[in-house]
Amino acid sequence: MRTLWLLSASHAVNHAQAAVLPLIYLAIIPEFQLGVAAIAFLSAIGNSAAGIVQLSYAIVTRYLSRRMILGWGGLLFGGGMAIQAAANSLVPFAVANVASRIGGSPQHPVGNALLAEQFPVQRRGFAISAHIAGGNVGTVAVPLLGAWLIAGFGWRWTVVLFGVPAIVLALAIFWLVRESGADRAAARAHGSLRRAFGDILRDRSLRLIFLSTVLASGGRGLGVLNILVPLYLSLVVGVDNLTVALMYTVLVAGSVPSPIIAGWLSDRIGRKPLIIGAYAGGAAALAVFVAAGSNVPGLWLGIVLLGTFNFVESPQLQALLSDVTTPALRDASFAIYFTLAFLSSSLWVIVYGAVVDLIGESAGLPISFVVMAVGFIVAAFVVLPIRIDEGRLRRASAG
């Protein structure tokens, strides 16, 4: 539980920094005399670097403890964020910014693999969901706080104030987290990394999990849905700005309790039923949201349903992955999973943007939501044939 609390707090800070960066960008544009394209390019570089580097943890975890990776990553993450304050032009700011994003990259693959090792099977769903929900707390809580800090103290002191907690938590992880090293020993005993990747890609269940996350990432709550929903409400439906803000707040607020409740349920009824139910509920929520048109009560119903279902599947898919894979392949499996998840969600956003650019906002955004719903339904069918070795899980739980 100490590990879970520290990782969840670190994840909250990770998301908090991601949530405050758009406000920081708005502040540096006039000071550094930048255009929007420069900020978009910087954001794309940071996202790509943070996504691609996650694949490297398949080999790094063979030689360094997860505690060391998370600790040093946290120091780079917080330090890079704080050092941005010293920048007087785009280039040094960008170097510190990208370094910080890379420092935060172990949070998902390495953090979840550590929780999977430490928690027994019957509590793993809750642990991974609580870790994810902790990050979402940072997303929900920060926008107003960040805006207030920038207005009151300036963007330079704000990045320092957001960087310091990451450094403190990194030091706490160094001192307080313990791990057995059993997974690392199992991975090295299993053979080369090439063999590990080969075994993973030959595993039908793991391939289906990877395919499912690629399909479902197009409608995932954070990173996709939370970007398109406000645009649709404002530009297509014509909802006033205050109502859009309230609806957005309710939407992202669902990202905290929903994964925790789903994790508790999946530990009792199983991962697959919960994931398939989340996919079905997410598709239904998207249908209600689009069908509501300009009907405000219908839109509110759609928002509540989206907040309930569309933040649920990802942590449970990760828990299912930890159940299906073996300790020897756990780190490599998580590395592949998160690399695919990050890159595919970015590609889905590009696709939706191209569709909107081609046929316009009034038709393109609703079509994008329909594509999300179809992706959820197909992903549900992809999950159905996944096989879980119940005997191995019972033996692991007993051990």
Verify that 167 and 289 share a domain, yes or no: no
Q: Which of 153, 179, 205 represents a domain boundary (last residue)?
A: 179
Residue 101 lies in a domain: yes
Q: Which domain holds residue 76?
A: 1-179
Verify that 151 and 273 share a domain, yes or no: no
pLDDT value of residue 363: 92
Q: Which of 124, 151, 179 represents a domain boundary (last residue)?
A: 179
Residue 184 lies in a domain: no
Residue 207 lies in a domain: yes
pLDDT value of residue 390: 56
| CA angle (103 as vertex; 98, 106 as ends), nearest 5 | 130
Residue 186 lies in a domain: no
pLDDT value of residue 143: 63
What is the CATH number for 399? 1.20.1250.20
Verify that 134 and 252 share a domain, yes or no: no
Burial grade of 48 (CB within 10 A; 0-12, 13-18, 19 or more): middle
With CA atoms as reference, report the closest residue to 110 among 58, 173, 165, 75: 58
Q: How many angstroms from the chain centroid is the CA of residue 169?
A: 19
- Judge whether 259 and 312 are in contact, CB under 8 Å: yes
Verify that 105 and 81 share a domain, yes or no: yes
Residue 260 lies in a domain: yes
pLDDT value of residue 292: 95
Residue 47 lies in a domain: yes
Q: Which of 179, 200, 228 represents a domain boundary (last residue)?
A: 179
Verify that 156 and 220 share a domain, yes or no: no
Number of residues that this document lists for the chain: 399
Segments in the chain below pLDDT 70 = 36-37, 40, 143-144, 389-399
Place of tokens 């899980």: 393
Helix (H) or strand (E) holding 291: helix 271-291
Residue 185 lies in a domain: no
- Judge whether 19 and 144 are in contact, CB under 8 Å: no
Burial grade of 40 (CB within 10 A; 0-12, 13-18, 19 or more): exposed
Residue 113 lies in a domain: yes
Verify that 168 and 221 share a domain, yes or no: no
pLDDT value of residue 220: 85
Verify that 209 and 233 share a domain, yes or no: yes
Under 8 Å CB-to-CB from 246, ≥6 apart: which residues?
Answer: none
With CA atoms as reference, report the closest residue to 307 among 265, 266, 248: 248
Verify that 116 and 244 share a domain, yes or no: no
Verify that 229 and 285 share a domain, yes or no: yes
Verify that 161 and 209 share a domain, yes or no: no
Helix (H) or strand (E) holding 78: helix 66-83
pLDDT value of residue 398: 47
Q: CA-to-CA distance for 71 and 178, rounded, in angstroms? A: 12
Number of domains making up the chain: 2
Verify that 198 and 329 share a domain, yes or no: yes
Per-residue pLDDT of 249-280, as tens digits, reads 888 888 888 988 999 999 889 899 999 999 99
With CA atoms as reference, report the closest residue to 210 among 372, 52, 368, 325: 325
Verify that 269 and 174 share a domain, yes or no: no
